[in-house]
Amino acid sequence: MFKQRAADYKDVGNRLLAKLLDDGSDVFAGLSGEHIPILTEISPTQVSALHRIGVRAFVADSCATNSHAAIISRALGIAVLSAVADIRTAVKPDSTIILDADSAKLIVDPDDEMLEYYAQRVQVEELIRQKREKLKETDCLTQDGIRIRIYANMGMPEELPAVKDLGCDGIGLFRTEFIYLSRDTLPGEEEQFEIYRKVLSEMAPLPVTIRTFDLGGDKLLHLIPSPQECNPYLGNRGIRFSLSHTELFKTQLRAIIRASAFGKVRVMFPMIIDVADFIEARNIFNQCVDELYSEGYDYDSSIAVGTMIEVPSAALCSDALAQECDFFSIGTNDLAQYALAVDRNSEQVSRYYIAHHPAVLMLIRATINNAVKHNKPVSLCGEMASQAEYVPILIGMGITELSVNVNSHYHVKTTVQQCDAKLHMIVKNFDFNTSLPEVDKLVYRTLKPYYTKQGRS
């Protein structure tokens, strides 16, 4: 029993310390853009707090590559190093340190030569930034004329200025979990409506795809009593949690539908496993539409309703799902995690988390083929879309919409512009029912020229 309540004790302890130190809830008081914090662990909300302060890098004992905190850090352009050995012995409070995330190095008290080297590196990065500004004005076409739409992933409203500055095609994934976390009460309809209205109106006329709440009861125990689960990743989370708490779900859907009067919105459900799952969620969506109509609210009557394809069963049922959904969005982070039975947040088994594993690619290809078969749009919004080495193989499989992290947009666009008709033939004729080494060879050798001709390799 005490083991299960450990998180509650930790929370009380942190709150008590904050009161004793009289700094409110601001654990980052005193930090500025010149600091590199060294942390035990970090949450997505805290990443956003560091960004507001102007912090450009941090070190954390625990921050797995595919954790939400790491994903948001990349989106905000914050450099991160994790699991650095003996760091607290080597680094003193007044140390000068350089965090080189590209090379996974932390340099303590660098000499003049090293400082000069990194000063030059910064200048090179600035030249790359200027080149990307010019790239903004170019069309996102492959060399054989195929239009690839590049959307942005967004996890918090603070990212909106950076998203608008990209010149992207819209927001392909707007995560809404931030609305529910780090608060003492559940957000009401009006509060959510104002958030969605602001994002939609500022992005108009470009589309915004809003993913409904994608967490489990383990994250909201202080707000909604929920049974303890041994494995929350396989438990009552995503659409399952929303369907078991319909009032919470309807509050969010009503807010989104009302906000649709101010811009172009699409709604998608997370962790759908089959057609019955999707229809149940869509029925509740339709109930909300009927209620708002009878109450006299303005809204867009043609809101597209789609599903994330992030559970293997959904990919395998994608033929039937495509006949009911308005669109698909493939979430490769969870798709790989569930297909390979690997916790993507665990450093211990990180070597088993292989986004381009043949099994994962076969699920992606099946999903794309079924979407095309029923003439339904399909995008890919997982981390694969933000990694240049995967862009050619995704385009070769037929993906024409990518939703990427803000920091990856220009590199991905550059890669898209290198793709050609030959690439399509290479991927089309490749048998993914093969060994991982063969797929490695395809991605890192055969397709390498398509993502290293421009920009950084």
Q: Which residues does 143 contact at the CB level (< 8 Å), separation at least 6? A: 417, 418, 419, 420, 421
Q: Which residue, chain included where needed, has tokens 């799902």?
A: 321
- Considering the domain architecture, whether residues 441 and 300 belong to the same structural domain is answered as yes
- Considering the domain architecture, whether residues 151 and 112 belong to the same structural domain is answered as no
* pLDDT above 60: residue 137: yes
The residue-averaged pLDDT of 169-189 equals 89
* pLDDT above 80: residue 305: yes
The pLDDT, as a whole number, for residue 217 is 59
At residue 5 the predicted structure's pLDDT band, cuts being 50, 70 and 90, is very low
The residue-averaged pLDDT of 400-425 equals 93
Give a yes or no: residue 2 inside a domain. no
The residue-averaged pLDDT of 303-327 equals 98
The residue-averaged pLDDT of 217-231 equals 71
Write down which residue in 108, 129, 150 finishes a domain: 129
Tell me the C-alpha distance between 114 and 122, whole Å: 13
Its domain, for residue 280, covers 139-452
* Gyration radius of the chain over CA positions: 23
Amino acid residing at 63: C
Write down which residue in 84, 106, 129 finishes a domain: 129
CATH code for the domain of 79: 3.50.30.10
The pLDDT, as a whole number, for residue 455 is 44
Report which secondary-structure segment, H or E, holds 193.
helix 189-203
3-state secondary structure at position 66: coil
Would you please indicate which residues are annotated as catalytic (active-site) residues? Answer: 68, 381
- Considering the domain architecture, whether residues 200 and 55 belong to the same structural domain is answered as no
- Considering the domain architecture, whether residues 120 and 158 belong to the same structural domain is answered as no
Q: Over the chain, what is the mean pLDDT? A: 89
- Considering the domain architecture, whether residues 115 and 167 belong to the same structural domain is answered as no
Comparison of pLDDT for 266 and 41, the residue scoring more: 266
What is the DSSP-derived secondary structure letter of residue 141? B
The pLDDT, as a whole number, for residue 444 is 95
* pLDDT above 50: residue 265: yes
| Greatest mean pLDDT range, 19-28, 72-81, 282-291 | 282-291
Give a yes or no: residue 134 inside a domain. no
- Considering the domain architecture, whether residues 122 and 144 belong to the same structural domain is answered as no
* pLDDT above 90: residue 317: yes
Q: What percent of the chain has pLDDT over 90?
A: 63
CB atoms inside a 10 Å sphere around CB 219: 17
64 and 86 Cβ atoms separated by less than 8 Å: no
451 and 392 Cβ atoms separated by less than 8 Å: yes
- Considering the domain architecture, whether residues 207 and 151 belong to the same structural domain is answered as yes
In which region does residue 30 sit, left (phi positive, over 0), alpha (psi from -120 to 50) or beta (all else)? left
CATH code for the domain of 177: 3.20.20.60
**By CB neighbour count within 10 A (0-12 exposed, 13-18 middle, 19+ buried), where does 198 fall?**
middle
* pLDDT above 60: residue 25: no
Give a yes or no: residue 26 inside a domain. yes
Q: How many domains does the chain have?
A: 2
* End-to-end Cα, the chain, rounded Å: 51
The residue-averaged pLDDT of 45-60 equals 88
Over the stretch 358-395, which tens digit does the pLDDT of each residue have? 999 999 999 999 999 999 999 999 899 999 999 999 99
Tell me the C-alpha distance between 192 and 189, whole Å: 5
Tell me the C-alpha distance between 67 and 333, whole Å: 10
